Amino acid sequence: MTFNEIQLIQPLLQAITEAGYTEPSPIQAEAIPVLLRGRDIIGCAQTGSGKTAAFALPILQRLSKEKSGHIRALILTPTRELAIQIYDTFRYFGKRLRLHSGAVFGGVSQNPQVDALSRGLDVLIATPGRLNDLINQGYIHLNHIEIFVLDEADRMLDMGFIHDVKKTIKLLPLQRQTMLFSATMPPEIETLAQTLLKNPAMIKVDPTTCAVESIDQCVYMIDKPNKTLLLAELLRTEDIKNALVFTNTKHGADRVVQKLSQEGFVARAIHGDKAQNARQDALKSFRDGRVQILVATDIAARGIDIPELSHVINYDLPDVAETYIHRIGRTGRAGLGGTAISFCNIDHLDNLRGIEKMTGLKIPVRESQWPMLIFEKTVKQVRPPRTERKTPQSKRFSGPPKSRRW
Ligand code: AMP
Segment 291-297 mean pLDDT: 95
Same domain, 196 and 223: no
The amino acid present at 239, given as its one-letter code, is D
The answer to whether the CB of 81 falls within 8 A of the CB of 322 is yes
- 330 CA distance to ligand 1 middle (Å): 9
Pocket of ligand 1 (CB under 6 A): 21, 24-25, 28, 47-53, 211-212, 325-326, 329
Is 226 found in the same domain as 111? no
CB 121 within 8 A of CB 90: no
| Residue to mutate (ligand 1; options 91, 325, 333; most atoms within 8 A of CB) | 325
In the chain, the percentage of residues whose pLDDT exceeds 90 is 65
Tell me: do 144 and 221 sit in the same domain.
Answer: no
Residues 317 and 237 in one domain: yes
The answer to whether 328 and 206 have CB atoms below 8 angstroms apart is: no
- The mean pLDDT of 217-226, rounded to a whole number, is 97
CA of 114 to the centre of ligand 1 (A): 30
Instruction: Name the domain boundary from 205, 229, 245.
Output: 205
Does the residue 380 lie in any domain? no
- pLDDT mean across residues, the chain: 88
What residue owns the CA closest to ligand 1's atom 21?
21
Range of the domain at 260: 209-366
pLDDT of residue 293: 96
For residues 41 and 141, state if they share a domain.
yes
| Atom 12 of ligand 1, nearest CA residue | 329
- pLDDT (tens digit per residue) in 357-376: 888 889 999 999 999 999 88
Phi-psi group of 303: left, alpha or beta (phi > 0 → left; psi -120 to 50 → alpha; rest → beta): left
Number of structural domains (the chain) is 2
At position 396, the amino acid (one-letter code) is: R
Q: What is the pTM of this model?
A: 0.71
Residue 119 CB neighbour total at 10 angstroms: 8
Cα(12) to centroid of ligand 1, in Å? 15
* Mean local confidence (pLDDT), 255-264: 96
The pLDDT value recorded for residue 333 is 55
Distance CA 4, CA 12 (A): 10
Report CA(337)–ligand 1 centroid distance (Å): 14
Q: How is residue 67 annotated by DSSP?
A: -
Assign 105 a pLDDT band (cuts: 50, 70, 90). very high
CA of 25 to the centre of ligand 1 (A): 8
Q: Are residues 229 and 273 in the same domain?
A: yes
| Domain presence at residue 395 | no
Radius of gyration, CA atoms only, the chain: 22
| Partners of 217 in beta bridges | 340
Confidence label for 318 from pLDDT (cuts 50, 70 and 90) = very high
Q: Would residue 394 count as lying in a domain?
A: no
CA of 6 to the centre of ligand 1 (A): 17
Q: Are 234 and 358 in the same domain?
A: yes
The answer to whether residue 290 sits within a structural domain is yes
Q: What is the distance in A from the centroid of ligand 1 to the CA of 50? A: 4
| DSSP percent split of the chain into helix, strand, coil, nearest 5 | 40, 15, 45
Atom of ligand 1 nearest to the CA of 330: 10
Minimal CA–CA distance to 304: which of 126, 60, 104, 88? 88
- Are 191 and 297 part of one and the same domain? no
Question: Is residue 284 in a domain?
Answer: yes
Final residue of a structural domain among 173, 205, 237: 205
Q: What is the mean pLDDT of residues 329-334?
A: 68
Is residue 244 a part of any domain in this protein? yes
pLDDT confidence of 169, banded at 50, 70, 90? very high
* Same domain, yes or no: 129 and 261: no
Query: Which residue is closest in CA terms to ligand 1's atom 11?
Result: 329
Residue having the nearest C-alpha atom to atom 9 of ligand 1? 329
Tell me the CA–centroid distance for residue 335 and ligand 1, in Å: 13
Q: Which of 209, 212, 323 to mutate to test the pocket of ligand 1 (most atoms within 8 A of CB)?
A: 212
- Residue 247: its pLDDT value, please? 97
pLDDT on residue 299: 80
Does 82 score more than 70 pLDDT? yes
Pairing assessment for the beta strands 73-76 and 123-126 based on DSSP bridges: parallel
Query: Mean pLDDT across the stretch 96-124?
Result: 95
Does 200 lie in the same domain as 278?
A: no
DSSP conformation class of 348: G
How far apart CA 139 and CA 60 sit, in angstroms, is: 23
Residue 392 resides in a domain: no
* One domain for residues 174 and 97: yes
Residue 218: inside a domain, yes or no? yes
Domain shared by 46 and 189, yes or no: yes
Look up the CATH number of the domain holding residue 188: 3.40.50.300
- Domain-terminating residue out of 205, 233, 266: 205
Is residue 78 within 8 A of residue 155, CB to CB? The reply is yes
